[in-house]
Amino acid sequence: MYGVGILKGMAVTFRHFVDTYLDDIHWLSRGGRYYNDDALQVRQGLNGRGVKTVFYPEEKLPVPERFRFVPFLVTEEPPAGQQWGHDWCTSCGICAKVCPPQCIWIERGKKPNGRPKPEPEKFFIDIDICMNCGLCAEFCPFDAIKMDHDYELASYDRTTAHIHDKERLSKPISYWREIAPQKAEAEAAARDFAKAAKKKPRGKRGEETAQDQAERIAEAKARQLIYRGALY
């Protein structure tokens, strides 16, 4: 019979409409539906009732670890009483070279004697040009630039506000560990391996020292993490 399909479809829509209000009542005693992370997860799951819509910006879906947005610069934790920690960036310029749209500018620091200092004096990224490809983070030999998860960067000013300077870009390593724990762990393991390999003591020819063995294990662990897909 003509029209039955339409009526069935409308009945489904109507059921979701009513379920939405019933679900609202259900979550009222638990902090309300709009501002409750638990409620959001349940609603987005298979047992969710009513509307599945995410009410942005009050609600936000968590982004996966590999999510990439505009890069940031990694620093040490700031010492007590200071705003910025030591830069991991050595201003080698590799990220600026590999950046496809060329949106990174770096000015290397100088020592009092005029010789170059292995840290950036200035570092800029034009976020309107950045295409979030992640190549800068992939190529950085010092793990000093990472892809951020902060995607709420819109503003009414399309000029200077969209050119992020070093202060705006710098974030401590603890932030990276928080947003990408698996990757941060894998990178730390790889760094430890590289550090241990540099200090390699010479044993007798053909002999494997205890340190060689420890390094092999550390390398295996790092590779395991990499292969598990924790890195790129």
* Contacting positions for ligand SF4 (CB under 6 A): 71, 89-95, 99-101, 103-104, 106, 125, 130-136, 140, 142, 144-145
Pick between residue 102 and residue 209 the one whose CB is nearest to ligand SF4: 102
Q: How far from the centroid of its chain's Cα atoms is residue 29's Cα?
A: 34
Pick between residue 147 and residue 218 the one whose CB is nearest to ligand SF4: 147
Minimum distance of ligand SF4 from residue 197's CB (angstroms): 20
| Residue that has been written with the tokens 């060689």 in this structure | 212
Q: How far from the centroid of its chain's Cα atoms is residue 153's Cα?
A: 15
* Phi, psi angles (nearest 5°) of residue 36: -120, 115
Pick between residue 37 and residue 138 the one whose CB is nearest to ligand SF4: 138
191, β-bridge pairs: none
Pick between residue 33 and residue 183 the one whose CB is nearest to ligand SF4: 183
| Residue that has been written with the tokens 């947005």 in this structure | 69
Minimum distance of ligand SF4 from residue 176's CB (angstroms): 13
| Residue that has been written with the tokens 């947003």 in this structure | 179
Concatenated DSSP letters for 103-132? -EEEEEEE-TTS-EEEEEEEEEEETTT---
For residue 146, give every residue at least 6 positions away whose Cβ sits within 8 Å of its Cβ, in sequence order, or none: 71, 72, 74, 137, 176, 180
Minimum distance of ligand SF4 from residue 72's CB (angstroms): 10
Pick between residue 101 and residue 181 the one whose CB is nearest to ligand SF4: 101
- Is residue 74 within 8 A of residue 173, CB to CB? The reply is yes
Minimum distance of ligand SF4 from residue 69's CB (angstroms): 9
Pick between residue 39 and residue 147 the one whose CB is nearest to ligand SF4: 147
Minimum distance of ligand SF4 from residue 121's CB (angstroms): 12
Pick between residue 75 and residue 90 the one whose CB is nearest to ligand SF4: 90
172, β-bridge pairs: 75
Minimum distance of ligand SF4 from residue 143's CB (angstroms): 8
Burial of 157 (0-12, 13-18, 19+ CB in 10 A): exposed
Minimum distance of ligand SF4 from residue 103's CB (angstroms): 5
